[in-house]
Amino acid sequence: MKMDGVRVVRRLEELYLCGAHDGGAYSRLAFSEEDRKGRELFASYFRALGIDPLTDAAGNIIARLDGEEGEKGEKAGAPLPAILIGSHLDTVPGGGKYDGALGCVAGLEVVETLLSSGKRLRHPLDVVVFADEEGARFGSGMMGSGAFSGASLGDFSPTAEDSAGVKRADALAAFGVNWKEMGKAARERATVLCSLELHIEQGGSLFKSGTPIGVVTAIAGVKRREVTITGEMNHAGSTRMHDRKDALVAGARFISSAPEIVAAHGDAYSVATVGTIAVRPNAVNVIPGSCTFSLEIRDQELPVIERIDSELERRLRDVTEASGTTCNFRFISSTSPALMDDGVKNAIIKASEEAGYSCSLMPSGAFHDSLTLARSFPCGMIFIPSVNGVSHSPEEFSTEEDIQKGCDVLLRTVLTLDNTGLQSGA
Ligand code: HGY
Ligand code: MN
Ligand code: MN
């Protein structure tokens, strides 16, 4: 029984093309028409196997391969708890071919490989595409996996708008998702044995060390806020420099000081990013009256995130006071760091050893659906190298050889978990 890495790579290419935009960029922002194309193509792969995926109340796509034991299987009785293999198909703007899509296509490949080999698992296997993992369109990420895990949906305001002014609730409605009903997607804990996610590392450590498999130990938490600095719109020609209350200059002073604040108050894994900024009125001859930007902080420890957040806020208040401007914050989302499950980690390590691949235990700086799933279910993640550590970029690349190895380890991990369940002892 062998996973077909060539077929996986071909499908990743086909999915990537669903995100084609005029001008040569590729992206599948959550609940966009490009996302719809990718989701429909992915569902069609399952229908070709005779499996009709369902879509839950949060827009997650779930394709089930029944297990031998339980309702639809041969042996009578309630089905055993399912093994989940999930990830996401939505991307960041200009994202790569592998982030998220690899985990979804590899889950499909496990089903196709089992079906063609005639091997029946004892447990049901659910392959899940979680909706809006990135949060690139409406600000907060992991919406589908959050709803699936029964997390509070407070971070997913229905009125949050994308850059074109489309509200989240309207974008969901175009996909048949009623924002008010998303809570119905919550999956009962007892119906899940564990969750597995194969993902690219999105960093450089596996690539630099030449290690084909990463076994994720923990996933960094992430806090996102929106900052608005308000100054005074004025004439760019007739307003002397000492009379200005320039919101963008204040923003620039703050943003440029963020790296040393993170260095002073954080640890090796601490990061802070300003990824979006809007200036008003955004005219060449008008002193900016206001600027609004995103502020995202991540670390493996929640207290470190909070410490950096308060030090950055202190700095911002100093900068705005000194420049006669004011600032305010709008909370967007916050997800605590999470540990991966020992039993699932042990199964991944065993699978790597059986396959003859070296593996290293490592934390994830990127967040994933597994971050929010880990609140409710035992989770494990398998990483493969990202060439030059690049991700969230058209340059994102993983080799066919590494994809094959990641798929081999995923299949072996599923077989181990199906056989022995979760063995958390060493
Ligand atoms: O932003 C992230 O860490 C992930 O790629 N969604
Ligand atoms: Mn991802
Ligand atoms: Mn991503």
Domain assignments of the chain as residue spans, ordered by start: 5-219+337-420, 221-335
- 170: CA distance to ligand 2 center in Å? 24
pLDDT band at 423; cut points 50, 70, 90 = confident
In this chain, the answer to whether the domains covering 5-219+337-420 and 221-335 adopt an identical fold is no
- 365: CA distance to ligand 1 center in Å? 8
Does the beta carbon of 90 sit less than 6 angstroms from any atom of ligand 1? no
Confidence check: pLDDT of 426 > 50: no
Nearest-atom index, ligand 1, CA of 135: 6
**Tally: H helices and E strands in the chain:** 11, 16
- 392: CA distance to ligand 3 center in Å? 6
CATH number, span 5-219+337-420: 3.40.630.10
- Spatial contact of 135 and 144, defined as CB atoms under 8 Å apart: no
* pLDDT mean across residues, the chain: 96
Nearest-atom index, ligand 1, CA of 391: 5
Longest dimension (CA), the chain: 84
Q: Mean per-residue pLDDT for 175-196?
A: 97
If we measure between CA atoms, which residue out of 330, 420, 336, 419 comes closest to residue 371? 336
Does the beta carbon of 133 sit less than 6 angstroms from any atom of ligand 1? yes
Report d(CA 38, CA 132) in Å as an integer: 13
CA nearest ligand 1 atom 6, residue: 134
**Which ligand is nearest the CA of 200, by number?**
2
92, 273, 297: residue to mutate for ligand 1 pocket, most atoms within 8 A of CB: 92
Q: Mean per-residue pLDDT for 320-336?
A: 96
Report d(CA 208, CA 222) in Å as an integer: 26
Q: Which residues surround ligand 2, an ion (CB under 5 A)?
A: 99-100
Q: What share of the chain is helix, strand, coil (3-state, %, to 5)?
A: 40, 25, 40
- Spatial contact of 56 and 148, defined as CB atoms under 8 Å apart: yes
- 88: CA distance to ligand 2 center in Å? 7
Q: Taking the mean position of all CA atoms in its chain, how far away is CA 407?
A: 19
Confidence check: pLDDT of 62 > 80: yes
The three state secondary structure string of 94-160 is: CCCCCCCHHHHHHHHHHHHHHHHHCCCCCCCEEEEEECCCCCCCCCCCCHHHHHHCCCCCCCCCCCC
Report d(CA 392, CA 203) in Å as an integer: 11
For the record, the structure tokens of 165 come out as 């002014």
CATH number, span 221-335: 3.30.70.360
What pLDDT shows up at residue 71? 62
CA nearest ligand 1 atom 5, residue: 366
Nearest-atom index, ligand 1, CA of 141: 6
Report d(CA 137, CA 35) in Å as an integer: 12
Helix 5-17 and helix 33-47, axial crossing angle in degrees, nearest 10: 150
Confidence check: pLDDT of 74 > 90: no
pLDDT band at 425; cut points 50, 70, 90 = low
Check residue 30 and report its DSSP letter: T
- 414: CA distance to ligand 3 center in Å? 24
- Spatial contact of 392 and 99, defined as CB atoms under 8 Å apart: yes
Does the beta carbon of 81 sit less than 6 angstroms from any atom of ligand 1? no
Report d(CA 47, CA 49) in Å as an integer: 5
What pLDDT shows up at residue 77? 73
Q: What is the pTM of this model?
A: 0.93
